[in-house]
Amino acid sequence: MENILSQVGKKLRESDYKLTPQREEILRVLIENQDKHLSAEEILGLVKEKSPEIGLATVYRTLEILYSLGLVHCMDFGDGRKRYEFELLESKSHQHHHLICLNCGKIEEIEEDLLEELEREVYKNKGFVVTNHQLKIYGFCRNCAPKKEGEI
C-alpha cells in the first residue's frame, strides 16, 4: 500500500499536484476496494469513517485529477452513477470486462479478453489500431436468472 501511495505521490508531483492527506485517504479507499466499482458517494462514505471532515466536492475533484492522470478508470453501467476503479501503475494493459445484472445491479468482472481476435481483424480490414476497449454485458446473474424447467 505504502509503495503504491509513494508511486502515486510521485506521479501527482510530476503533474504539479500534491498528495494531500485528503487525497491519500481517497486513494486508500480506492486501493483497499479494488475489487469493487465504487461511486463517488460510496467512496465518500468509506472515507468519512476515518476522515469525517472530507466532503463530496473533495472526492469529486480528487477523482477528476486521478482520472486525468490515468490512475482511475471511470465507468458508467447505465444506472445513472459513474463508478471508479483504481488502476495499478504496473498493470497498464487492456481493461477487464463486466457482467451487469439487470435485476439486482451486481457487477462482476471478467478477466478473459476474448476480443483480441476482433482487434486483429479490425486492424487487418480497417487499418485501425485498437489501444484499448471496454465490454459491458447486460443480463441476469446466477441468483436472478429465470430458472429453466427442471432446475432446482
Domains of the chain: 1-92 (1.10.10.10), 94-152 (3.30.1490.190)
In three-state secondary structure terms, 100 is: strand
In this predicted structure, the answer to whether residue 65 has a pLDDT above a threshold of 90 is: yes
Q: Over the stretch 31-45, which tens digit does the pLDDT of each residue have?
A: 999 878 899 999 999
- Do the beta carbons of residue 102 and residue 146 sit within 8 Å? no
pLDDT of residue 57: 96
Share of the chain above pLDDT 70, in %: 90
Residue 2 annotated as binding? no
Length of the chain measured in residues: 152
Residue 116 annotated as binding? yes
Q: How confident is the model at residue 1 (pLDDT cuts 50, 70, 90)?
A: confident
Residue 74 annotated as binding? no
List b or e across 45-63, with b for residues whose CB sees 16 or more CB atoms inside 10 angstroms. Answer: ebbbeeeeebeeebbeebb
pLDDT of residue 58: 96
Q: Over the stretch 86-135, which tens digit does the pLDDT of each residue have?
A: 876 554 555 667 888 888 888 887 777 778 888 888 999 999 998 777 77
pLDDT of residue 49: 94
Q: In this structure, what DSSP letter does residue 89 have?
A: T
Residue 104 annotated as binding? yes
Residue 101 annotated as binding? yes
As a three-state string, the secondary structure of 54-102 is CCHHHHHHHHHHHHHCCCEEEEECCCCCEEEEECCCCCCCCCCEEEEEC
